[in-house]
Amino acid sequence: MSSSAAGSNTQPSTAHEAVGHGEGVISETEQARFLPRADLQILIRLLRDDGFTVVGPKLDQSAIVYGEITQVADLPIGWTDQQQPGQYRLVPRNDDRMFGYVVGPHSWKQFLFPPSAIVATAQRTGDSWRMSTPDEPSPRYAFLGVRACELAAIAVQDKVFLGGAYVDPIYQQRRASVLLIAVNCTQAASTCFCTSMKTGPRCKAGFDLALTEIDSGFTLETGSERGRSLALRLPLREAQAAELCDAEQGREEAERQITKQMNTDGLHDLLLGQLRSPHWQTVAERCLSCTNCTMVCPTCFCSTVTEVSDLTGDHVDRERHWDSCFNMDISRVNGVPVRDSVASRYRQWLTHKLATWQDQFGTSGCVGCGRCITWCPPGIDLTQEVWTLQQLARESGHGLSHEEAPEQTVEIGSGEG
């Protein structure tokens, strides 16, 4: 496995770092290129000719999901989504936009960190075993339609799977070859809060190409050497001032539509000061512990490896599956789950996502995409729960719920995150 890994050479610097700072103004020259609507098909064809499996938005199961795209007609032309806590509806648009939706139930995670994958194999050989790990080439994906929050989510998972002493070979291989074509949001859902998490809605870094859709086509910017060489092969023309203006208005409209907020000031210490709050039990009365929030989350990475044996027991695959901190078995020690209540599991999820993730990876685990709010059947809204915890903390004195809290908040983890 090559160590010229994803996110280093072939990829632009991680989106998170770049997005986290300043305005990241897009340069005039890059912005000034334009891809006519009719020519998007050429982009798809080029990518396929280059051996990429193009994955993008498409209509399926009454939603806009991510799947293989072979032609422009596969895109959800003229459709959009309406989202609120616990509810998603596919609705027709008044125009024929191809990317006129927000985000759906799928995320790119399923392609880079597949829901099921064989991580190792054991084959009996006489009185011994041959133990190996898979060495098939991994698929080469081009993602078409990546949102700013999703670029940030990929950057978060880069830190999880590639940033530590041990890297995950499956993620590493897939990530190293993936081509990222972002499309800026020109609208937002009621569940979006990327502005609070400083991940969007504008795509500022972490992509190879970034498009902004207007009625007549796409303004285009490049974010990497690979993106630039791909752009050179596209039938681009100078963007007209009116087109640039439309694109900018679209991006501003998305930002304007974001109403949900989460105050992240001091959130790490505040949440860890609330570990004994009765509010976790209040949430648990609604929480189904069904795992939906973690499954749709583009950054959640829990998994479990299980044995899949043939009947003779001579050939065993070790299969890794997505798992969730909402499952009791994930914390089972000596037959007993450590987190044996819904309250303790919800607390684990929320405090990990928004606080201890900082200690572990130097970033929040939340990118503000709102999927966990939309796809929670009873519509539990983490921004609401955080707000409530902040109110409770304020009532009991500056974010500290107990007299020992100063020590707790200072000492937990390395803290510097």
Partner 1 sequence: MSVTSESCVQNFDPWLSHPVRIAGITREIPGVCTLNLQFEDSRLASTWSFRPGQFTMLYVPGAGEAAISISGDPGVSSVITQTIRDAGNVTRSITGLGEGAVIGLRGPFGSCWPVEMCRGRDVVLIAGGIGLAPLRPVILQLLRQRDQDQELTLIVGAREPSLLLYPDQYDAWRRQGLNVIQTVDRADDSWTGGIGVVTAVLDRIGLRNAAETVVMTCGPEVMMTYAIKTALSRGIPRELLFLSMERNMNCAVALCGHCQFGPHFLCREGPVFSYRHLRPLMRIDDL
Partner 2 sequence: MTSATSSKPRLAVFKFASCDGCQLSLLDCEDELLTVAGLVDIAMFPEASSDMQPGPWDIVLVEGSITTAHDAERIQAVRRQAGTVVTIGACATAGGIQSLRNWGHHEEFLRCVYARPEYISSLATSTAIAEHIPVDYELRGCPVNRQQLLDVILTLVAGRKPRLPVHSVCMDCKRRGTVCIEVARGIPCLGPITQTGCGAICPSFDRGCYGCFGPAPQANSQSLTDHFLNTGSTPDTLLPLLRNFNGAAKEFREQSDRLERMFPPGPNAFSD
Of the candidates 196, 176, 199, 174, the residue with the CA atom closest to the CA atom of residue 15:
199
Structure tokens at 155: 């950057």
Residue 25, interface with partner 2 (CB under 8 A)? no
What sign does the dihedral 224-25-100-211 (CA atoms) show? Answer: negative
Closest distance to partner 1 from the beta carbon of 334 (Å): 6
- 144 contacts 72 by C-beta, under 8 angstroms: no
Question: What DSSP line would sit under 30-41, residue for residue?
Answer: HHTEEEEGGGHH
- 231 contacts 221 by C-beta, under 8 angstroms: no
The interface mask with partner 2, positions 29-68, x = CB under 8 A, is: -------------------------------xxxx-x---
Among 110, 177, 257, 360, binds partner 2 (CB under 8 A): 110
Q: What is the phi/psi pair of residue 211, to 5°?
A: -110, 155
Contacts of residues 363-366 at CB distance under 8 Å and 24 or more positions apart, as own/partner, are 363/16, 363/155, 363/156, 363/159, 364/156, 364/197, 364/264, 365/156, 365/299, 365/300, 366/197, 366/299
Residue 113, interface with partner 2 (CB under 8 A)? no
Closest distance to partner 1 from the beta carbon of 171 (Å): 9
Residue 141, interface with partner 2 (CB under 8 A)? no
Task: Tell me 21's DSSP state.
Answer: S
Among 15-23, 38-46, 385-393, 402-410, the segment contacting partner 1 (CB under 8 A): 402-410
Residue 177, interface with partner 2 (CB under 8 A)? no
Residue 377, interface with partner 2 (CB under 8 A)? yes
Closest distance to partner 1 from the beta carbon of 14 (Å): 18
Round to whole Å and give the CA distance between 351 and 149. 20
Residue 71, interface with partner 1 (CB under 8 A)? no
Among 42, 46, 77, 275, binds partner 1 (CB under 8 A): 275
CA distances in angstroms from 387 to 263, 265, 285, 299, 391, listed in the order given: 8, 12, 18, 22, 6
The residue written with tokens 């609330």 in the block is 274
301 binds, among partner 2, partner 1, none (CB under 5 to 8 A by kind): partner 1
Residue 327, interface with partner 2 (CB under 8 A)? yes
Round to whole Å and give the CA distance between 53 and 68. 7
- 328 contacts 342 by C-beta, under 8 angstroms: no
Round to whole Å and give the CA distance between 340 and 324. 14
Structure tokens at 189: 């859902």
Round to whole Å and give the CA distance between 396 and 167. 42
Among 11, 348, 383, 390, binds partner 1 (CB under 8 A): 348
Among 3, 94, 128, 312, binds partner 2 (CB under 8 A): 312
334 binds, among partner 1, partner 2, none (CB under 5 to 8 A by kind): partner 1
Residues 161-180 that bind partner 1 (CB under 8 A): 161, 164-169
- 141 contacts 336 by C-beta, under 8 angstroms: no
Residue 291, interface with partner 2 (CB under 8 A)? yes
Whether the upstream peptide bond of residue 201 has omega within 30° of 0, thus cis, is yes
Residue 374, interface with partner 2 (CB under 8 A)? yes
Residue 261, interface with partner 1 (CB under 8 A)? no
Closest distance to partner 2 from the beta carbon of 303 (Å): 11
Residue 392 host element (H or E): helix 382-395
Of the candidates 311, 369, 14, 350, the residue with the CA atom closest to the CA atom of residue 161:
14
Residue 316, interface with partner 2 (CB under 8 A)? no
Q: What angle do CA 57, 63, 65 make, to 5 degrees?
A: 30
Residue 322, interface with partner 2 (CB under 8 A)? yes
Among 49, 285, 403, 416, binds partner 2 (CB under 8 A): 285
Nearer to partner 2, 109 or 202 (CB): 109
Residues 104-133 that bind partner 1 (CB under 8 A): 119-120, 122, 124, 127-133
Q: What is the phi/psi pair of residue 229, to 5°?
A: -70, -30
Residue 332, interface with partner 1 (CB under 8 A)? yes
Binding site for partner 1 (CB under 8 A): 1, 3, 119-120, 122, 124, 127-133, 160-161, 164-169, 272, 275-276, 301-307, 309, 313, 316, 318, 323, 325, 330-335, 338-341, 344, 348, 352, 355-356, 359-360, 404, 407-408, 411-414
List interacting residues with partner 2 (CB under 8 A): 60-63, 65, 86-90, 104-106, 110, 115-116, 284-292, 295-296, 311-313, 321-324, 327-329, 341-342, 374-375, 377-379
